[in-house]
Each structure stands twice: as C-alpha cells, then as structure tokens.
Amino acid sequence: MSFKALVLEEKDGTVTGSVTALDDAKLPPGDVTVAVEYSTLNYKDGLILANKAKLVRNFPHVPGIDFAGTVTASSNPGFKKGDRVVLNGWGVGERYWGGMAEMARVKGEWLVKLPDAISTKRAMAIGTAGYTAMLCVMALEDHGLKTDSPVLVTGAAGGVGSVATAVLAKLGYAVTAMTGRAEQADYLKSLGAKDIVDRAAFAGGPAKPLDAGKWGGAVDTVGGKVLAVVLTQMAYGASVAACGNAGGVDVPTTVLPFILRGVNLLGIDSVMCPAPQRKEAWARLARDLPLDKLDAMTTTATLGAAMGLAEKILKGQVRGRTVIDVRG
C-alpha cells in the first residue's frame, strides 16, 4: 500500500523536500502502525526543514516531530486497532521517520492515547509546543507557584508561549506576556494576558546582577540574554521553567539570583520525558486548556506548504500554532 509523505533529500549539503508517494514496506521497524491525520509545525521542525542545525543525519528522511492519528495495526499489548494516539518527540522526525506523512510506524511506548476531549486535529494544534507549555506549568506548580503571583511568559506569541498564556490565565494566574511583536498585543490579551511587555527591554541582557523581584514564576521560551534578565527579576523562592533557546544558548548571569533569592531554574525536556508525565500533561491539557482559545490561535496548512513555512517560524513570523493536514 502506498502513502503520501514529505520526503527530505540531501545533495552536496543542500536539503530539498517534496511530497512523494512511498510504499508502506519502506516504513521503519516498530510495533504500532498509525494512520496519521495531522502533524504540526514546531520551531524544531523549522530547523529540520531548513537544515539549520544538522539534526537529521540520514536521508531520505520524513520530518515531523509530532503526529496524531488512529492505530491501524499493533503487536504492542498497550494499543489496539482504532485507538486514537498522539506522539511527541523521542527523536521521531530527527533520528527516525516522523509524522509529516499519511502513515507512521513506531514503538508503542512512544505513544499516548488521546483523551476523549481532544480530537486529532486539536492534538496537533497543541503539539510538542503545547505539551511543553503544560510541562512548564506543572513544573512551576510543583515548585510552589501561587495563584496570587504574577507570572511572566516570554516569547508569548509563539506556540509554547501562546498555550502557556492561555493555560495559566484559565488557572487564575495574572499573566504578563513578553513579545517582540507589538502588533500581537490584542491577540495575547485574547488568550488571557493581563499585561504586555516589550522584548526589547530584556534583549540587551541584565543591567545589574539583581533587579526588583517582580515575578512569582516564569515560563521562558527564549533563553540567552532574555532568560538572564528574567532571572534577575524573580521574587524570592520563585522559579523559571526554561524550555527554549531561540534567543541563544548562552545565559550571561551570576549566581546571585540563586544564592540570595533562592531562585530555581527548572529545565524542561519534552523529547525524552517519561511516559507517566506525558500522560498527566495530556490529561491536564484536556482539562485546563481552553479549546476555544486553542482554535483561535490555530491555522491549518497542507503537507506541501510545510517547507515554505520553515523560515517563517525560525524568524518568529508564525503566530500561535500551525497544524499540517497530511491528507490535504
């Protein structure tokens, strides 16, 4: 049986992609086969499609670090034909063929059964970005985040930031959204942000080792100098959940926020996150993410359009979430 896939090819260091028909005999090993309905576009997908970070070593390659669909065959006791499932990370779309295709075959332990409240399309509107946002919220809660604490979300108009803003607002937190795109202020307020701050005030790095402690928690999707400034502004005992590096991997800071204010820097990894945590995150998303706001932040693109969107997401020109309809 043949299926449609976005296939990346490499020649003389140049990577190109095209929608191609493949035979299912070419699918990689695995104990669960899934009829994929939707994938999505994350920052890492942009890197892979644009061949910016050399994350893919073997070609031809099918990208897509996320997918959602229905099980068509399984020898794994945890899954049966007809189960609706979602996959995030595990090296899929990087080391292994990914979700930008009508079929996928993977290890069953990489899959999570979708909660009844979340459709396959909405699962990909959430995607790794939204699932990572929920991991950030859970980590902040585990470290004592209080509902009377103002919470900062950096890179708030992006995928992780949009979902984090919507979830935190629904949970009753006063969210301040940081963005470098002033035109997104109304969008961020529609997600529940109380205040908007300009990224320019953070992008130059810290002016001093400690600033006024104003944030009771923070979700940082940017890294670099922005994260360094955020750390100086955390209240006593507050935590920052860090999950991104769009602004750089170097953090020019001092130990003072940690040893004088007891600030916690929480690293959030979504790729190899253990299954129990993943299941909890998806259950929380079904409960705590306003689905109407998810729909409002989501656009849909075809499989053939994915390559053209790569540079846009890398340049911060994509707002919210982009779902890839692999059947379109």
pLDDT digits (tens, 9 = 90+) for 76-135: 999 999 999 999 999 999 999 999 999 999 999 999 999 999 999 999 999 999 999 999
What local confidence, expressed as pLDDT, does residue 29 receive? 95
CB distance 70 to 117 below 8 Å = no
Task: Pinpoint the alpha helices (H) of 206-274.
Answer: 224-232, 256-260
Q: What is the mean pLDDT of residues 24-44?
A: 96
Q: For 200-241, how does the pLDDT look when each residue is reduced to its tens digit (9 = 90+)?
A: 999 999 999 999 999 999 999 999 999 999 999 999 999 999
Q: For 126-161, how does the pLDDT look when each residue is reduced to its tens digit (9 = 90+)?
A: 999 999 999 999 999 999 999 888 999 999 999 999
Taking CA atoms, 310 is separated from 75, 220, 243, 314, in Å, by: 35, 22, 20, 6
What local confidence, expressed as pLDDT, does residue 73 receive? 98
CB distance 145 to 216 below 8 Å = yes
In terms of C-beta density within 10 A (0-12 exposed, 13-18 middle, 19 or more buried), how is residue 92 classed?
buried
As a 3-state breakdown, the chain gives helix, strand, coil percent values, each rounded to 5, of 35, 30, 40
Tokens of 187: 């969008």
What local confidence, expressed as pLDDT, does residue 149 receive? 86
Domains of the chain are: 2-114+297-325 (3.90.180.10), 128-267 (3.40.50.720)
Q: From CA 86, how far away is CA 127, in angstroms rounded?
A: 9
CB distance 243 to 219 below 8 Å = yes
- For strand 234-242 and strand 215-220, is the pairing parallel, antiparallel, or unpaired? parallel
Burial profile 138-172: b = 16 or more Cβ within 10 angstroms, e = fewer:
bbbeeeebeeebbbbbbbbbbbbbbbbbbbbbebe
